[in-house]
Amino acid sequence: MKLLVVGSGGREHALAWKLAQSPRVQIVYVAPGNGGTAQDERLRNVDITDPAALADFVEAEHVALTVIGPEAPLAAGIVNLFRSRGLKVFGPTKEAAQLESSKDFAKAFMKRHNIPTAEYETFTNAAAAHAYVDQKGTPIVIKADGLAAGKGVVVAMSDDEAHEAIDSMLEGNKLGDAGARVVIEEFLAGEEASFIVMVDGKHVLALASSQDHKRLLDGDKGPNTGGMGAYSPAPIVTPQLHARVMREIILPTVRGMENEGIRYTGFLYAGLMIDAQGNPKTLEFNCRMGDPETQPIMARLKGDFSKIIEMAIDGKLDGAELDWDRRTALGVVLAAHNYPETPRKGDRINGIPAETGDAVTFHAGTTLADGKLTTSGGRVLCVVGLADTVRGAQSVVYDTVNQISFDGMQYRRDIGYRAVNRKQAERHG
Ligand code: AMP
Ligand code: GLY
C-alpha cells in the first residue's frame, strides 16, 4: 500500500520512517518533505501543500491512508476536506483542532469539564488585561489565543515583562489575529512532561511518555524554542501518574468533546506540569504529535505502525496494542545559526552517518539540491540514540553529533539531564 504524510519537519520524517518499515507499505509520500525524506529510497517527496491538490494526488495515486503532521493544516480543516471526499485520514477535524488552535477554547473546555489546569481569564481589552496582572501579581503567564508557532507564550517573571507582553499582543498586534485575544493564567511551578495519545473518536491508545527541552541553552536557560531535544520514556511519568493523567485529563477530554458533539480523532498531546507533590495539570493541548518528541518515540516503537494508524482511522483502537523498545531513546536537535530569532539558511551540512541499530538522524530544516544537503530552517536535524540508560543514550547521540557539522550549528549538551538527576536521586535516596 501507499501512504502519505503531510508536513516537512523532523516529526514527519520520523513518522514516515516508521511507517515505511511495514512490509505491506510500498512507499510513503511526504508532502512537501525535506532533504532527509528526499534521500530515503522508501520515501518520496511530493511538492504539494494545497489541501485540495493533496486530495487529488491521493485519489490519483490510490494512497490508502494519510497522516497529517502539523497543526496549521489541521486547524485549516484538511481532515474535514479529506473526509468529505471519502479519503482515509488520521487527524482531528478543524473543530476538534480548536483544542490547540484556540487557547481560550481549550481553557474554557477544561473549566467546563473539571480538567486540572491553571486558573485563567481571557481578554481582548488591554486595560482590563493590565488591571488583571496588577491584581494577580507575577510570575504570571500571557498567552496569545491563536496559533503562533511557539511564539505565543510569555512566562513573565516581572510586572514589566507581563505588561509589555500584553501591549505587544493586544496593542502592537505583533502576532496578528492570533494575539488579538489573550489568555492570562496562573504560573505553575514543577516539571513538564509530554503525554501523547492516539484517539479514534472513542478509544484511546497512549504512546510512550516523553519530555521535551524547550529552552535554547543548557540548564533550561535562554529563549523558548520549538524544542531542542526530547527523550522517551520520561521517568517522571510513573505508572501511577500515567493512570491519573488518563483518568483526570485524557479521558475527560475525549468524552467531553464527544458530549459537545465534536468527536476527537487523531493524536492528542497534553503538555503537563507536574508539581513537587506529583499532581499533574494541563498546560496546553496540541492536536498533533510533538516535535521533537516524535523522533525518540518513533525510534522506540516496534511493530507495524501502519496497522495501528489504520485501526485508529477505522475506530478500532480498542483492539490495538503498542510494543516499545525497552531502551531509552534520546533526541538532540541541531539548530541553525541564530535560531530561534532569524535562523540562517544555506549552510552546507556534512558528516551525517548512516543509520545504525542504535542511532538515526531525522531531518527537519534541510534541503537536498544537486546532491548537496543544506540548512533551510531553524531546527535542522534531530539525532536520536538508543541505549539501556539515559546516560548511555546521551553517549550514543553525542558520538553521532560529533561527526556532523555545518556553520553555525548549535545544540544542547544536556538533553535528558532531569532523568539522569532523577535516577541519581533514586539511587541515593
Ligand atoms: P504552551 O505553548 O502553552 O505549552 O507554553 C509554552 C511553554 O510555556 C510551556 O512549555 C511551559 O514551559 C511554559 N508555560 C506555559 N504555561 C505555563 C504556566 N501556566 N506556568 C508556567 N509555565 C508555563
Ligand atoms: N515539542 C513541543 C511541541 O511539539 O509543541
Distance, CA 285 to ligand 2 centroid (Å)? 10
Please tell me whether the overall predicted TM-score, pTM, comes out greater than 0.85 for this model: yes
145 pLDDT band, cuts 50/70/90, is confident
CA of 227 to the centre of ligand 2 (A): 6
Domains, the chain, ordered by start: 2-93 (3.40.50.20), 125-180 (3.30.1490.20)
Q: Which of 273, 226, 224, 225 is nearest to 249 (CA)?
A: 273
- Report residue 5 as a C-alpha cell: 504524510
Q: Is the CB of 141 under 6 A from ligand 1?
A: yes
**Residue range 27-55: mean pLDDT, rounded:** 98
How buried is 427 (Cβ within 10 angstroms: 0-12 exposed, 13-18 middle, 19+ buried)? exposed
pLDDT averaged over every residue in the chain: 95
Q: At 205, which helix (H) or strand (E)?
A: strand 204-206
Closest CA to 235 of 405, 427, 82: 427
Nearest to 96 by CA among 216, 272, 260, 279: 260
For every residue of 283-344, DSSP letters joined together read EEEESS--TTTHHHHHHHEES-HHHHHHHHHTT-GGG---EE-SSEEEEEEEE-TTTTTS--
Nearest CA-CA partner of 227 in 356, 362, 315, 333? 333
74 contacts 67 by C-beta, under 8 angstroms: no
Q: Closest residue (by CA) to atom 2 of ligand 2?
A: 290
Confidence of residue 92 (pLDDT cuts 50, 70, 90): very high
| pLDDT, tens digit, 9 for 90 and up, residues 165-211 | 999 888 877 767 766 789 999 999 999 999 999 999 999 999 999 99
Averaged pLDDT, 22-47: 98
Pocket test for ligand 2, best of 209, 287, 293, 332 (most atoms within 8 A of CB): 293
State if residue 212 touches ligand 2 by the CB under 6 angstroms criterion: yes
pLDDT value at residue 179: 64
The residue nearest atom 4 of ligand 1, judged by CA position, is: 284
103 touches 293 (CB < 8 A): no
What is the per-residue pLDDT across 225-272, written as a single tens digit (0 to 9) for each? 999 999 999 999 999 999 999 999 999 999 999 999 999 999 999 999
For 304-355, what is each residue's pLDDT tens digit?
A: 999 999 999 999 999 999 999 999 999 999 999 999 999 999 999 999 999 9
pLDDT at residue 429, as a whole number: 64
